[in-house]
Structure 1
Amino acid sequence: MDTQNSTSGSNAPAERRERPLWLLLGLNLALLAVLVSTVWLAAWYVRRDQGEPAAPSSGDFLAAQALTVGTPAPDFTLPRLDGGQIRLSDLRGRPVLVNFWASWCAPCRSEMPALDRIAREYQQRGLVVVGINQLEDPQTVEQFVQEFGLSFTIALDRDGVASRDWRVYGIPQTYLVGPDGVIRKAWVGPLTYDSVVRALHDLGLALSAS
């Protein structure tokens, strides 16, 4: 009995020493897991709030290629659909809205009513609207003009030179040229009536209150 008691007594402290070591290791592993999870969640929230960087779109590319606001507008001399020619430099002293388009372009079609409204409303304020068609035959252009009842000047860029000079690699694309021949506003993609009105107002072409 004395031997058994002695053996039992000698093993008990060893067992008591082993339990805290395993317990401490388990607690450390649990704390490490909690720490890793906390860091991961914090990083996830930061990424969510900041937003993942978007891949460049075709619109970003076209905007980067467009003529810069504040630079002189390239001159052009183009045949008019109704005969004769139009030269941009001949319009110096008047604001000019230059729009590049084609009949097959759906966004071009959607913005035509706004362009024609602008042309009619601001004609007495000296604004000239020039729609430059890209690479289409006069018959196709004439049909388009009649379909929409367009009242502004239509020019024909038959060889694409004007489009190249104006860095038009996608349509529609529109520029507001000030009376001094400097580009004041650019639209890459379809414009809206309100956006053009704001640009004209900034240019000092606000319509008189009725």
Structure 2
Amino acid sequence: MKAATLVILYILFAPTLAWSTGLGIRAYTVPKPAADFFLPDMMGEIHQRFDYRERAYIVSFWATWCSPCIKELPDLQRAAEILGADNIAVVTVNSGESRELVQQFIKERSLILPVLLDRDSHMLRQWQVLALPTSYIVNARGLVVARVVGGIDWDELSILAQVRSLISANQNDVVPDD
């Protein structure tokens, strides 16, 4: 097989493999600044990194055609309800799809998560997402402390505890200059 074919196959099947092998949360040894973003939500309101200053958040990239994403979204919604009490937000980013398609998708599944629309996949590239779903955990200082490639059970107690631990453990890190 040609290298390009292997890369395409990896991109298509990595999320499914990641889900089944349970890669879980991978903490960064050295947290890094979260990349800027400037995206509309489903109502057209613009969200940017600055809106989440002094607040920890999870940003999760997904698409309607991604089976592991579909499985993960309800777990993320339940996690958002639980983590909201700890002032931790959950934001999802749909990449490359129309507002109408995403709106129909979330309506059919009764999802109420905040969905940002990355129509041109600029944020996807900026955050260096190689497979869907991919999520990042960002502490209140704006540092990415961990990444999750593939789906996980976000509402599982051990996962929630790990998220809280990662966020609180990295609160005193120095924010590098942009």
TM bin, normalised by shorter chain, reads: 0.7 to 0.9
* 8 Å contact from structure 2 (residues 61, 133) kept in 1: yes
CA RMSD of aligned residues (A): 2.5
**Pair 1:133 & 2:103 matched:** no
Any runs of at least 4 consecutive aligned residues in structure 1 with deviations exceeding 4 A, and if so which? 66-69
Equivalent position SS for 1:116: helix
The separation in 2 between residues aligned to 1:182 and 1:123, in whole angstroms, is 19
Letter in 2 for 1:182: L
Report how far residue 192 of structure 1 moved. Answer: 1.5
The separation in 2 between residues aligned to 1:127 and 1:152, in whole angstroms, is 13
**Pair 1:200 & 2:163 matched:** yes
The separation in 1 between residues aligned to 2:70 and 2:52, in whole angstroms, is 26
The separation in 2 between residues aligned to 1:89 and 1:191, in whole angstroms, is 27
Counterparts of 1:89-104 in structure 2 under 5 Å? Answer: 89-104=50-65
The separation in 1 between residues aligned to 2:47 and 2:85, in whole angstroms, is 20
Corresponding residue for residue 154 of structure 1: 115
Letter in 2 for 1:178: N
State the structure with more CA Rg.
1
Greater share of residues in strand:
2
Q: C-alpha deviations, 1:10-35, integer Å up to 9, x for none? A: xxxxxxxxxxxxxxxxxxxxxxxxxx
Greater share of residues in helix:
1
Q: Using the aligned pairs only, state the percent identity.
A: 32
Report how far residue 204 of structure 1 moved. Answer: 4.1
Q: C-alpha deviations, 1:12-70, integer Å up to 9, x for none? A: xxxxxxxxxxxxxxxxxxxxxxxxxxxxxxxxxxxxxxxxxxxxx945xx99xx99561
The separation in 2 between residues aligned to 1:118 and 1:78, in whole angstroms, is 23
Alignment TM-score, normalising by the size of structure 1: 0.63
* 8 Å contact from structure 1 (residues 116, 151) kept in 2: yes
Corresponding residue for residue 128 of structure 2: 167
What stretches of structure 1 of length at least 5 have no aligned partner? 1-56, 206-210
Match of 1:184 among 129, 145, 159: 145
Corresponding residue for residue 79 of structure 1: 40
Equivalent position SS for 1:162: helix
Greater relative CO (CA pairs within 8 A, separation 6+):
2
* 8 Å contact from structure 1 (residues 67, 167) kept in 2: no
Letter in 2 for 1:104: W
The separation in 2 between residues aligned to 1:120 and 1:146, in whole angstroms, is 18
The separation in 2 between residues aligned to 1:67 and 1:88, in whole angstroms, is 21
